Amino acid sequence: MLIRKSDPNPIPSSEITPRSAYMNRRAFIAAGALGAAALAADRLAGVMRPEQVQADTKLATIQSPLSAKDLTPTSFYNITHYNNFYEFGPNKDDPARNAGKLQTSPWSVTVEGEVKKKKVFDIDALMKLRPLEDRVYRFRCVEAWSMVIPWVGYSLSEFIKQCEPTSSAKYVQFISVDRPSQEPGIEEVNLNWPYSEGLRMDEAMHPLTLLTFGLYGQVLPNQDGAPVRVVVPWKYGFKSAKSIVKVKFVKDQPGTTWNEMAPNTYGFYSNVNPNVDHTEWSQKMQRVIGAPFWKQLEPTLMFNGYGDQVASLYKGMDLNKYF
């Protein structure tokens, strides 16, 4: 879904094979002979075990009733080494290599637009606003691959209440950090920076929409959008803006990065919908990242499987037109 600045014949990034995975060396040394054999097997599968999460990044969390109970999370390794974060480069393994440069402390989120008064939230205060919940969600990228991710956060609606939007606020826009000195992809990738995304107010207020600070019980790794991002589980992944510095409440549907780049391909709504093809590929099936080869392809579910909870938001709308 991407165009390089110097590329005369852009290739969709879904076609680019990621470079070979590497294994955490410290973990390898620490494991004994048996462990090493097990880890070698994991390496083949691209797995990094959650217990390798470092203690100093651990978050205090509570279980959420909104978490999926029947899904096995994708490995920590794959979640953190197969990313789209174009500020750090066009390839899936670029964010893991380059995102360490981003300074995520200090960090604040500015709230402006149709609100009683402009506010600035420091990241530490934001993380303490509500108890942090573990929420395992399906995650579906527009490039027809999927993961299951154990996020940590709380419903975005809790934050929106603190923002005090006025009755004129009909949409909310999320704007990502734009720091070319720390984000090499900004020079390399041809997108309108800063990255921005938007939701209708009722979508933003839906309890499933998550203001996200972590995954696998630890703070978000930079490549996954540290220190704060949005996750909207029934929409294609690009609606979930990472490393947010500004939230703007607006009257009219805002321009968003991918919609402005290619409006016929990336609609504003971008609900996961097997019946609406991407302009270059079908959305009927999805490739499950990290699954054994015999389980790698599975059918795409309408609203990514969250139809019972969210279909009513779109009652009466032609979802072929508002894709």
Q: Which residues of this protein are in contact with ligand MTE, per CB under 6 A?
A: 83-87, 141, 176, 195, 224-225, 237-238, 240-243
Using the minimum distance from each CB to ligand MTE, give the nearer residue, 154 or 238. 238
Contact 263, 323 (CB under 8 A): no
Structure tokens that stand for 76 in this block: 């920590």
Amino acid identity of 47?
V
Q: How far is the CB of 29 from ligand MTE (least distance, A)?
A: 28
Distance CA 306, CA 272 (A): 10
Nearest residue to 298 via CA among 149, 146, 150: 146
* Per-residue exposure over 196-220, b if at least 16 CB sit within 10 Å of its own CB, e if not: bbbbbbebbbbebbbbbbbbbbbbb
Nearest residue to 136 via CA among 198, 71, 192: 71
Amino acid identity of 222?
N
Q: How far is the CB of 244 from ligand MTE (least distance, A)?
A: 8
Distance CA 62, CA 136 (A): 12
Nearest residue to ligand MTE on Cβ basis: 237
Using the minimum distance from each CB to ligand MTE, give the nearer residue, 99 or 127. 99
Q: Ramachandran region of residue 113, left (φ > 0), alpha (ψ -120 to 50) or beta?
A: left
Q: How far is the CB of 319 from ligand MTE (least distance, A)?
A: 20
Burial, 36: exposed, middle or buried (Cβ in 10 Å; 0-12, 13-18, 19+)? middle
Using the minimum distance from each CB to ligand MTE, give the nearer residue, 84 or 91. 84
Q: How far is the CB of 163 from ligand MTE (least distance, A)?
A: 20
* DSSP assignments along 27-66, one per residue: HHHHS-HHHHHHHHHHHHHT---GGGS-GGGB---EE-TT
Contact 265, 129 (CB under 8 A): no
Q: How far is the CB of 85 from ligand MTE (least distance, A)?
A: 5
Using the minimum distance from each CB to ligand MTE, give the nearer residue, 76 or 314. 76
Using the minimum distance from each CB to ligand MTE, give the nearer residue, 12 or 307. 12
Using the minimum distance from each CB to ligand MTE, give the nearer residue, 64 or 176. 176
Using the minimum distance from each CB to ligand MTE, give the nearer residue, 39 or 289. 289
- For the chain, the 3-state helix, strand and coil shares in percent, each to the nearest 5, are 30, 25, 50
Structure tokens that stand for 153 in this block: 């956060």
Q: How far is the CB of 189 from ligand MTE (least distance, A)?
A: 8
Q: How far is the CB of 301 from ligand MTE (least distance, A)?
A: 17
Q: How far is the CB of 137 from ligand MTE (least distance, A)?
A: 11
Using the minimum distance from each CB to ligand MTE, give the nearer residue, 227 or 237. 237
